[in-house]
Structures are given as C-alpha cells and as structure tokens.
Structure 1
C-alpha cells in the first residue's frame, strides 16, 4: 500500500491525460483570468474607431470588428503589434509600422483604463486544477504575449500559485517570436527544468494551440469556454489533443478546493 501524500497518490486527483505530465504551462488571458473579454472590448473600440476614420474601399469590409470571430481569427494569443497588423490586413487597410503602432497604442490605453477600473477574476476551475497540480508536485508556469500578465495575476490574487511567469516584457527582452511559434512556451518549460516532450500547454487561442503543437509538447489542452458553433473543432484542427469547456474537468472528483 502506498503511503498517503506520495506523488502517485496525489496524482490520482488529476485526469488520466495528465498522469504522465511533469510540468504544465498555462496561457493567461482566457485560461487563468477572465481578461480576454477586456482585451476584446478594447480591441473593438480601437479598431472600430480606425474603421470609421479610414473606411476600406470595399463596402463589405467596412463592418465593425467582431469580438468573437475577428478576435479569435486575428488577435487572440498574439502580441499587440501582430494582432493589429493581422486585423488591418484582413480589411485591406494600411499596415505600415506607424499605423500598426498607433492602433496598438490606442488599444493599450483602453485596456489599461478598463483593467484598472474594473480588475479581473481568475477562473475557479483553473485555480482548482493548478492547486491539484501543485499538490501532485507538478510545477506550473503562466505565459502570455501580454506585458500585463503579471498585473492580471496580481489583480486576480493568483500570482503566488505559479512557479514561473514569462510575459510579453520577457518575450521582448529575449526577442522571442510570437505565436504560433512555440518560443514563449519553450522558455517557460526551460525555466521549470522540464522538456516540452514531458509537459503540457493549456490554451484557448488558435495561435496558442498551434504554438503548443509546434513546440512538441506532450499534451495540448484547448479551452473552449464559448462552446458555440465550431469553436471546439477549430481548436482540435489547430493542434489540441483534447478540448474542455472548463479546466475543472481535468480534476478528479476527490479534489477539494
């Protein structure tokens, strides 16, 4: 009989897909914190203002920014500059460096104002999973293309749950290319001391799921909180091994908060 408190016992709290995993990297926006909606709202305000001031020649491309489809296709999981450039290109608009930076700066201002006025919460299911992983002695990292990741985790009161944080500021300092390149996640597991082939990535963005797959991670978990239309299928097509609506699904029934 195993002694209570060993890693094997504690690992029984986790879903079978995680039993051989030795480290887990969590994306921040939309996975740890309910901040993707704040990002999406800030992008919508910035892009819609730009579209009104610089309407595309094609009337069909003048429609407002869609906080679901456009956000997921062009912006989610990417750096501000990459996201701004991708959306502007999708509408046939100016993608010069000056224009991209101006739109990205407008979004940054709007996001910062909303974050500091209202804050964000951590998803309870994610907190449950992270705590179960920690009890099972599985190190965990938070990773994000956003420079605000540390502030978001602090606002949500969960920064102390993560062994490592690699955010947009670190990515810029290390000159890590953005998603769907896997470099951000690979840096996180490098700091945890675990090879990608023994680690998992948890993501809600298509670009992030692709990054996990491109990095050779043992498990890529897609989080489909909307669960509408073909959103789950798109995560699977982008490289997710499994898709869940909430990360509490990966915690065993015996786990307590």
Structure 2
C-alpha cells in the first residue's frame, strides 16, 4: 500500500500562508492527531543527536573529512529522515559518496547502511542503559484526546520507534504506528514527502483536512504541510520557530503543555 501524493506534489512543499492564530486551537475538535515521536512524544532526539555526533566525529576524523560534524548537520541532514537517507544526505554534503550497501550490513562496513547501523548500535545501547520518559506536556494532551475520544497515531522515520514507545510505556496510547519499518516495507519515501503521514491518516480512517500533524523536525513539518493537513503544529526543540513556520507550520509552540494549558478544564 502506498498513499497518493497530493496533486501537484513534486518533491517540494507547496508555499503556504502562515496564518496568525490568536489562541491555540482545540486539538480535540479534530478527527485525529498524528504525532512525530522523537522530540514530540519522547526526548529521544537528544539521544539521537548524541549518537550521531559520536559516530560522525569518529568517522570524519578517520576519513580526514572537513569540515567536521557540526550541530547544524543534525537539523539539516538527519532530523526526521529515515536513517540511511540521512547518512547519504550528510555524506553528500561533504562530497562523499559510498556504496549504499544492504540493511543487513555489519556496522563496521563503510556503506550507507553499515554507517547507519553503526549509529543505531550506539543509540540502542543508550536506550537500554538509560531508558526514556515521555514529555509530561505530551502526556497531558494525550489524556485530553483520550477523554474526547480522538485517536492518536505515531508517524516516525525511526526503525526504533516501537522500542522507544515500549521503553517509555506509552505504546498503547497510539492506535496506529507508522515508523521506519513500515516505510521500508511499504516502500514509502522519507519526509519531507507526505506519504508516511498520509498512510497514518488512512489507517486511522480519517482525512488530512480534518487531522492534526505535530512535528519538531523541519523535514517533518514540510511532510505534513505537503500532505495538506488541517493543522500543522511545530514544536520548537531547537530548529527555530521562524524556520518551522517557513517550513509550513501553522502554529509553533515550545512544548505541548501550551495546548494542554489552553484547553484544560
């Protein structure tokens, strides 16, 4: 199964007017809410950032690649994308091309897949050692959605999504999970293409024009905007409010607590 792309979609997010919102909309007024995972439901973005940095610092040093890894590399090339696509994008930014390889490649192999698996090994070890907890503000919003009977879904590029949800103890809060595993099985392109969001909406039985998408990554906001979702919420965890708005977010908050506070009883 593959979701249909919006008419006229050609790999770029359509220009959208950012509408000034005098007060935060009530999320329970929509038919469903789609959540990105890392940086929206759990602070796994921090673990991912550390794992990527540790892996690329070593790789770039070993290969003599300059400039070295920088914090902006995460937001520009890795955040929100499928792991292997992110590796290829970052290497390409340094004019480095390596064979794509196969997802079964050992982490020691210098292919796109091998390098991606190398990073994943670091991430998995940190998750096992330290665990993870969901953002309290996101949990408050999920409680409000549950009380109103509004279903929620996870839309994540990570193949670790189910492990992260299980570690945080929140798997049962989401009726549908579309993650990196599903994207690979269904041959869905990475964000910023809209397919993963559209598939999640389809599996919930809702339409984009009645659905909310919440993202903290630039590519994720672009993905939701390309899918023409009724409300695209950007959560600013470091990408920048102006950048998220320019990518297509209708409203930007620093934490979902702001929605919970605005519509608490």
TM-score normalized by structure 2?
0.84
Is 1:167 the counterpart of 2:179 in the alignment? yes
Q: How many residues align?
A: 234
* Paired residues for 1:44-83 under 5 Å: 44-56=53-65, 61-63=66-68, 65-66=69-70, 68-83=71-86
Deviation at 1:254, TM superposition (A): 6.2
Deviation at 1:252, TM superposition (A): 4.1
Partner of 1:200: 212
Distance in 2 separating the partners of 1:24 and 1:114: 29
Larger Rg: 1
Partner of 1:9: none
Q: Extract unaligned runs of 5+ from structure 2.
A: 1-22, 102-110
Partner of 2:228: 216
Partner of 2:252: 243
Distance in 2 separating the partners of 1:218 and 1:38: 31
Whether the 8 Å CA contact 2:40–2:214 is kept in 1: the answer is yes
SS at match of 1:240: coil
Aligned CA distance change for structure 1 residues 176 and 157 (closer, same or farther; 3 Å) = same
TM-score normalized by structure 1?
0.86
Deviation at 1:20, TM superposition (A): 3.9
Partner of 2:39: 30
Tell me which protein shows more helix as a share of its residues.
1
Over 4 Å off, 4+ runs:
none
The Cα offsets for residues 89-127 of structure 1, whole Å up to 9 and x where unpaired, read as 112222431421221111011111111111111000001
Distance in 2 separating the partners of 1:250 and 1:169: 30
